[in-house]
Amino acid sequence: MPADAPEVPALPVTFRPTRTRIVLLTVGAAMFFVITAIALLLENLSAGERSSFVFTALLFFGVLALLSRPKVVADETGVTVVNLTRMRRLEWAEIVRVNLRPGDPWVFLDLSDGTSLPVLGIQPGIAREHAVRDARALRALAESRGTRPDED
């Protein structure tokens, strides 16, 4: 293995945008508490209006929690990609290449069926170095466990 090649992590391993997740959940909780406090402090609101404030706060928190859901779980048999609303299980042999090009919002997996799968669990947003390190680790795992293009 070349000196600059990333080390293959021990399995199972989970990749997720931790800083982004912390920010989203913190903002969601803060918004929930502020909106709920406003609903309770405003004296002229009826019970239905207070309930609608709390429901709206829960809705905001739910959306931000959904945005914090993406992750990638790699184990001995393959990879589970969890995006916003979908989860997909892939065998190692299905992954041809792991890509994170400059300007990409997240990692893309090139699959053996000719399609590409976005992987929102590794995104350079507010932690670029962390995302690049995770993308390299996932690439090293895919190359060591799956099929890869023939090298000349």
pLDDT tens digits for range 38-66:
999 999 999 999 999 999 999 999 999 99
**Residue 94, amino acid:** E
Strand partners, 1: none
- What pLDDT sits at residue 147? 60
Average pLDDT of the chain to the nearest whole number: 90
Model confidence pLDDT, tens digit, residues 89-130 = 999 999 999 999 988 999 999 999 999 999 999 998 888 889
* Residue 3 banded pLDDT, cuts 50, 70, 90: very low
Within a domain: residue 152? no
Q: Provide the pLDDT for residue 5.
A: 59
* Sign of the dihedral through C-alpha 20, 26, 27, 28: positive
Q: Is residue 79 located within the same domain as residue 138?
A: yes
Task: Tell me the pLDDT band of 30, cut-offs 50, 70 and 90.
Answer: very high
Whether residues 63 and 76 fall in one domain: no
* Residue 44 shares a structural domain with residue 76: no
96 lies in the same domain as 118 = yes
Q: Which two tokens stand for residue 64?
A: 């931000």
Return d(Cα 116, Cα 134) in angstroms, integer: 18
Return the number of other C-beta atoms located less than 10 Å from residue 51's C-beta: 12
**Residue 128 belongs to a domain:** yes
The residue range of the domain holding 108 is 71-145
Question: Which CATH number does the domain housing residue 113 bear?
Answer: 2.30.29
Say how many domains are in the chain: 2
* C-alpha to C-alpha distance for 135 and 101, rounded to whole angstroms: 10
Residues 56 and 86 both lie in one domain:
no
The residues pairing with 109 across neighbouring beta strands, listed in sequence order, are 98, 117
- 82, two tokens: 């969890």
